[in-house]
Amino acid sequence: TGHFTFDPGFASTASTKSAITYIDGDQGVLLYRGYPIEQLAANSSFLEVAYLLLNGELPNAADFDKFEHDVSHHTMMHESLKNFFQGFHHDAHPMAMLAASIASLSAFYHDDLNVDDPVDRKMAAIRLIAKMPTIAAACYRYSIGWPLRYPRNNLEYVDRFLHMMFEVPSEPLQMSPVAAKALDLLFILHADHEQNASTSTVRLVGSTGANPYASIAAGITALWGPAHGGANEAVLKQLEEIGTPDNVESAILRAKDKNDSFRLMGFGHRVYKNFDPRAKIIREMCHKVLAELGVKDPLLDVALKLEEAALKDDYFVERKLYPNVDFYSGLIYKALGIPTEMFTVMFAIARTAGWIAHWIEQHETPGSRIGRPRQIYTGADVRDYVSVDKR
């Protein structure tokens, strides 16, 4: 029964029109508001990209100053939110803490929020972009038992975050400018990716009229899975398991074995069937960061060997499986001293810009309807209830 188009995983269904991000998966093209990702990566900053995603145009100097001012004046986390952290077990995964904390923002900022008011929507966007790094750093510090840090609003976005993560009292934080640059680049590259699973989730929740904090919290939980944003954490764990370049061959064999659920993490993409343009940029940055920070990570050798072996293996070539955005990002995070469990949190900080831009676009679009997919029913025909003594 049912006469609906069957499209598992929505591989060929456009759920919405959108003017934010363009992807050509065959050509390896990614544009934010028309600007090639390579140009933004080379010239822009995450905060400027966030403005672009939200507003559709690059800001002039005055617009950018105002945006930066607004963001840096909403970085504080409500003091009561700290009490939430006390309730988490010390080894809670930071993604669990992040999802719960962001959902809880609705409890602080919901009452006077009207999702139909453009001013309220912009305010929610600013709050989310501003508070995300503060809450993310709090998740990390709580998990290692350190006191939480207040945001230093005189610093730039990425520097502020690094300070909240790593600063200890009475010791100035020694952080190489390369670290901030690399993190900013990763944030730019992760900022949006059209209707991926987490953004579609944000839109589906948003379509019910739910408030933006609830919508973004749903996006965070969708991002967590290893097939999506959780891949960056999974890549690093997999590289550690493989351990040395000598073991790469057997990992490739396992990945090809259809009786084994093992997949090469950081490989393959639903849309990119030629190469992932973000992976190209990240690969270069990875070499640069490791060289400039003087980090000799043996896992880089494993990653390079894995990439080389996969790219000339028929299995991966036929299925058009290439390294994706998450393959090299973890090695950069690791070199910056960010622990593996935090990798997906880093992705979430960046993607918040895209999520909230989509949420706003959805509310700006006249005639938006609640998302309500149908199904092909495969269950039992109609039948009569049988009392328990007759079963």
Rounded to a whole number of angstroms, the distance between the first and last alpha carbons of the chain is 27
Shortest Å distance, C-beta 267 to ligand CMC: 4
By beta-carbon proximity to ligand CMC, the closer residue of 126 and 239 is 239
Choice among 192, 276, 326, 363 that is catalytic: 326
Helix (H, G, I), strand (E, B) or coil at 110: coil
Instruction: Evaluate whether 149 touches 137 at the Cβ level (below 8 Å).
Output: yes
Cα(22)–Cα(200) distance, integer angstroms: 15
By beta-carbon proximity to ligand CMC, the closer residue of 307 and 326 is 326
As a three-state string, the secondary structure of 222-284 is HHHCCCCCCHHHHHHHHHHHHCCHHHHHHHHHHHHCCCCCCCCCCECCCCCCCCCHHHHHHHH
Shortest Å distance, C-beta 157 to ligand CMC: 22
Burial 11-25 (b: 16+ CB within 10 A, else e): eeeeebebebbebeb
Question: Which member of 40, 321, 335, 336 binds ligand CMC (CB under 6 A)?
Answer: 321
Q: Which of residues 220-249 bind ligand CMC (CB under 6 A)?
A: 227-229, 231
- List CB contacts of 274: < 8 A, sequence separation 6 or more: 25, 26, 27, 28, 320, 322
Note if 269 is an active site residue. Answer: yes
Shortest Å distance, C-beta 14 to ligand CMC: 16
Question: Which member of 237, 254, 263, 287 binds ligand CMC (CB under 6 A)?
Answer: 263
Is residue 103 close enough to count as binding ligand CMC by CB under 6 A?
Answer: no
Helix (H, G, I), strand (E, B) or coil at 145: coil
Shortest Å distance, C-beta 303 to ligand CMC: 13
Question: Which member of 21, 199, 215, 324 binds ligand CMC (CB under 6 A)?
Answer: 324
Shortest Å distance, C-beta 150 to ligand CMC: 31
Note if 69 is an active site residue. Answer: no
Choice among 193, 228, 269, 363 that is catalytic: 269
Is residue 267 close enough to count as binding ligand CMC by CB under 6 A?
Answer: yes
Binding residues for ligand CMC, per CB under 6 A?
9, 196, 227-229, 231, 255, 263-270, 319, 321, 324-326
